[in-house]
Amino acid sequence: MNPPIAEGTVAVIDGVRRVYYDGYWIKVYDPPADSLKAKKQLIQALTRRLFNHVEHGINIPGKRLEDTRRAYEAEQDPARKRVKGAMLAGALFNRATDIFTKLVELQELGIEIDTDNALMRECGFCLQEALNLGRLVLHRSGEEGIDELWGEPFRAFSIPVEAFYDSRYIKIAQTLRDIDRLGAVMSSTLGAIPMYDGIQRLIAHFTTAAKVKCETLRTDPDIFDVWSDFVVASEELAAFAPQLSHSVNAADQQLATDGQRLLLQGRDLVTFITRARVPMPKSTREFIERMETFAARARMQGQPPLAGPLPY
């Protein structure tokens, strides 16, 4: 029996350097040197990434921070206050990025910036407050918020760059695990129904492409093939049509419609977490519950024999 692999083990597998976390060997990238400039570039990239995945309208310029705070504090309606809180979080992130950018510019002019500099502390306060408000922000799809994304800029500010990169591999491993969980429940549920004959191969292809995309940085030379493979696998999965006999009854027609809706929802959820590279536990749990309910209904209803494409 082989001994267990220690978390954080690094090995070269098929010519690619990988690190082991949570049952997955993840592609490793060399972190940049730990400097204020590297931190600035990292925080800027993380902030852009954050706004790319969250609801629209919250990317408020840092110079409007005080206006945004007043609007948030004055709001009484709970629903509107949530939105304004999300806008305040966005303004805080942008203010922190503005401060850090100027500090790096000063450092490049030869001015020494200490870690206890007042502006450095202000930058940290902005990121911390934004992190606390992150619970108010939804994913762009309207699904749950992604707390992990809100924590990343603050973590990048607070710890060495190399340590930040190491922490990201743990999150990627957790994301890969959830991609596998979603793929497994989709495959076992839909694959057990005759009208979905052939779906398991497409799901496996899609989740494999999703995991490769999840571990691959946009700056990687392989990204052109990796992204293309992922998009094509997603399109092929979405194009699948369940098959029923031409004499399909209303109950089976509804089952086919509901199954197709779940298939697309699962594809979208895998896409969301793949692109964000962090888990979405609430959405994942709720989707699995919906699949289990659908599976129970399909078992009770029984299935007609496979015959031909679903009529329209």
Mean pLDDT of 186-203: 92
**Does residue 258 sit within a domain?**
yes
The rounded distance, in Å, linking the Cα atoms of 244 and 110 is 73
- Do 136 and 254 share a domain, yes or no? no
The rounded distance, in Å, linking the Cα atoms of 48 and 37 is 17
**Does residue 115 sit within a domain?**
yes
Mean pLDDT of 165-175: 92
Token pair 């570039």: residue: 41
The rounded distance, in Å, linking the Cα atoms of 131 and 52 is 17
Q: Which of 158, 186, 221 is the last residue of a domain?
A: 158
Q: Model-level pTM? A: 0.80
Give the 3-state DSSP-derived string for 87-112, with helices as H, strands as E and coil as C: HHHHHHHHHHHHHHHHHHHHHHCCCC
**Ramachandran region of residue 15, left (φ > 0), alpha (ψ -120 to 50) or beta?**
left
**Residues spanned by the domain of 246:** 172-309
- Do 204 and 283 share a domain, yes or no? yes
| pLDDT level of residue 147 (50, 70, 90 thresholds) | low
Q: Which of 107, 128, 158 is the last residue of a domain?
A: 158
- Do 231 and 293 share a domain, yes or no? yes
- Do 115 and 148 share a domain, yes or no? yes
Q: Which one has a higher pLDDT value, 253 or 72?
A: 72
- Do 271 and 154 share a domain, yes or no? no
Give the model confidence (pLDDT) of 16-36 as tens digits.
Answer: 999 999 999 999 998 888 777
Residue 277's nearest CA partner among 169, 130, 144, 201 is 169
Residue 141's nearest CA partner among 258, 281, 51, 272 is 272
Q: What percent of the chain has pLDDT over 70?
A: 93
Question: What total number of domains does the chain contain?
Answer: 2
Token pair 């597998």: residue: 13
Cα-based distances in Å from 141 to 52, 73, 130, 271? 11, 27, 21, 11
**Does residue 294 sit within a domain?**
yes
Q: Which of 133, 158, 183 is the last residue of a domain?
A: 158
Q: What is the DSSP string of 140-201?
A: TTSS---HHHHHHHHHHHHS-HHHHHHHHHHHHHHHHHHHHHHHHHHHHHHTTSGGGTTHHH
pLDDT of residue 302: 64
- Do 119 and 187 share a domain, yes or no? no
Helix/strand/coil for 253: helix
Give the model confidence (pLDDT) of 79-118 as tens digits.
Answer: 999 999 999 999 998 998 888 888 878 877 888 777 777 8
- Do 140 and 201 share a domain, yes or no? no
The rounded distance, in Å, linking the Cα atoms of 203 and 162 is 35
Average predicted confidence (pLDDT) for the chain: 87
Q: Residue 12's beta-bridge partner residues?
A: 17
Residue 142 has pLDDT above 70, yes or no: no
pLDDT of residue 310: 38
Residue 66's nearest CA partner among 56, 54, 74 is 74
Single-letter amino acid, residue 217: L
CB-based contacts of 289, cutoff 8 Å, min separation 6: none
Residue 311 has pLDDT above 60, yes or no: no
Residue 309 has pLDDT above 50, yes or no: no
- Do 97 and 47 share a domain, yes or no? yes
- Do 211 and 285 share a domain, yes or no? yes
CA angle, 254 then 257 then 263, to 5°: 140
